[in-house]
Amino acid sequence: MWIQRLYAKRWVKIPYLIALYSFAIYGAFLAAVYLAMKFKLTQEAGQLDANNRYFQSMHDKYNQDFRVDSTYLVKKRFEVLDRVLLLNDFYPYNARYIMNSFKDHGDEILASKMLDAVDLSLKDDRSYQDAIKQLKIEKQKHKEKVTGLSAYDWMNVAEWKYFREALRKDKPYIDSAAKVAGVEARTIVAALVGEQVRLFNSRRERFKEYIAPLKSLSVGTMMSFGPTGIKENTAMKIERYLKDSTSVYYLGREYQHLLDFDSTANYGHVVSDTMSLRVKRLAQYTDHYYSFLYTALFIKQIKMQWERAGFRIDERPEIFASLFNLGYQKSKPKKNPGVGGSVFKVHDKEYTFGGVAFDFYYSGELSDLFPYQKKKFVAPKIPLPKVASEVEEPLNP
């Protein structure tokens, strides 16, 4: 047949066989690929990252260590800040991203992981690793010296604990006086602290017998009255300057009647009924509102005196406290006022009235109760508010 004769020719047979075998080989290849894929023979075996164990240990560490109380988290927060500052010395680019993330989220876990990732990436950076090691050494040294005590020695005495509790009780009165006078509550408390702390040693036995068990503030002596220790003569001056428009201490018409006497009020909870009405309302055992109001108004009068003389001391609570202790006669406006006042001892260490006020004000102690205000002095809130426990009754005939 003609097909057989044509196939017998070499120029036809050879190309035909080449094509046939090629398709056969290609078909076998496709079949082999299909079978390899079906039985997952084409997948790479792969390998673990060299840092796999580190990744796992980091995961385990943060899953465990951070399931703790808030005190531990605060500690970690400072650790994060220290490490970011160190990283900023080497790689400010990365430090900026970590710090921005931490500011946005406040997440100690995330920030620590970000820092650990950087540490791992820089494991071969000798300078950086040496700095990290030195930071850890310094932290360990500090850890060995860590104490639960305050940096302010006078706050480490037992009396301070009771005083804090007493302040919590008096918060409604302090806040009311602050609102009426337009004076920051914390500035008022700074003056109070100086007066009360100096009693820790001078009347220690009385403190143990009365103040500590009751957790209440001392209400003064026979010469000074109320928790802030205001003398009757000083109280009279505070009242007079409120009404004297010619005085350098004058605060304005809105203040004139803040200390007017209420003839219907009963100030019977005092040491003696022979006291004047003025002293009676200062020396109340439990209701200390007027004591704080007199103190706040004294402070604001001093502020006005200095302001009129061209000196602003709004941001100097220690100056207000010092002058509160020393009195009007020592208030002489000048460029560089001194901090001081009465000198007293707490556990054999000497302090001044103004110095203690300074310590307290900037210590952060009780800032949850008496927070820092941007404006220390504002307009008064009239009329005078009544605190919940204040009760007025007619005077006994």
State the DSSP string of 36-96. Answer: HHHTT-SS------TTHHHHHHHHHHHHHHTSS-HHHHHHHHHHHHHHHHHHHHH-HHHHH
Domain contains 129: yes
Same domain, 79 and 161: no
- Domain with 187, as residue range(s), is 154-363
pLDDT tens-place string over residues 300-323: 999 999 999 999 999 999 999 999
Residue 94's identity, in one-letter code, is: N
Domain contains 46: no
Same domain, 94 and 191: no
Domain contains 234: yes
Range name among 106-120, 146-160, 214-228 with the lowest pLDDT average? 214-228
What is the structure's pLDDT at 388? 39
Same domain, 81 and 214: no
Domain contains 62: yes
Same domain, 265 and 335: yes
Domain contains 378: no
C-beta of residue 303 within 8 angstroms of C-beta of residue 315: no
Same domain, 70 and 175: no
Same domain, 91 and 166: no
Domain contains 113: yes
C-beta of residue 258 within 8 angstroms of C-beta of residue 380: yes
C-beta of residue 299 within 8 angstroms of C-beta of residue 183: yes
Same domain, 162 and 253: yes
pLDDT tens-place string over residues 370-389: 999 999 999 876 554 444 34
Q: Rounded CA gap, 217 and 192, in Å?
A: 10
Q: Which DSSP helix (H) or strand (E) runs through 224?
A: strand 224-225
Domain contains 91: yes
Q: In the structure encoding, which two tokens stand for residue 161, read together?
A: 């604990």
Domain contains 373: no
Which alpha helices (H) appear in the chain, and where do they start and end? 2-8, 10-38, 52-65, 70-90, 92-105, 108-121, 126-145, 158-181, 185-197, 199-202, 204-206, 212-214, 232-243, 277-282, 289-308, 317-326, 353-363
Whether 160 has a pLDDT exceeding 60, the answer reads yes
Q: Rounded CA gap, 345 and 349, in Å?
A: 5
Query: Which of 334, 337, 335, 356 shows the shortest CA–CA distance to 345?
Result: 356
Same domain, 61 and 32: no
Same domain, 295 and 187: yes
Same domain, 136 and 186: no
This prediction's pTM: 0.69
The whole-chain average pLDDT of the chain stands at 79
C-beta of residue 313 within 8 angstroms of C-beta of residue 321: no
Q: In the structure encoding, which two tokens stand for residue 356, read together?
A: 């203690």
pLDDT tens-place string over residues 264-276: 666 665 555 667 7
Domain count, the chain: 3
Query: Which of 8, 5, 26 shows the shortest CA–CA distance to 16?
Result: 8
Q: Rounded CA gap, 216 and 218, in Å?
A: 7
